Amino acid sequence: MRIPRDLSGADLVKHLGRLGYEVTRQTGSHIRLTSRVEGEHHVTIPNHDPLRIGTLAAILDGVAAHHGLTREALLQRLLG
């Protein structure tokens, strides 16, 4: 599955909620999410529309590594 080119930061926050991520704080346009599933993991997402493709890829790679998934498997789970 290709990385979506039109995904906003707010949409990504909603999708990551399916994996147990919750907003812990926001500073300016950056949203900090925390997951306590399979250990504690933090990720910071810029609230931009759309997210830059490199930024989105890096965020997805970090989340996928924490959950022991490939980026493609994570995209399938999030965006179905």
The residues spanned by each domain of the chain are 9-79
Per-residue confidence (pLDDT) for residue 8, from 0 to 100: 96
Residue of higher predicted confidence among 40 and 80: 40
Helix axes 9-16, 71-79, angle to 10 degrees: 90
> Could you tell me the pTM of the whole model?
0.92
CA 55 to chain CA mean position, Å:
10
What pLDDT does residue 80 have?
Answer: 83
How many Cβ atoms sit within 10 Å of the Cβ of residue 21? 24
pLDDT in tens, 17-74: 999 999 999 999 999 999 998 899 999 999 999 999 999 999 999 999 999 999 999 9
**Residue 38: what pLDDT?**
86
Q: Tell me which CATH code domain 9-79 carries.
A: 3.30.920.30
Report CA-CA distances (Å) from 24 to 27, 33, 34.
Answer: 10, 6, 6
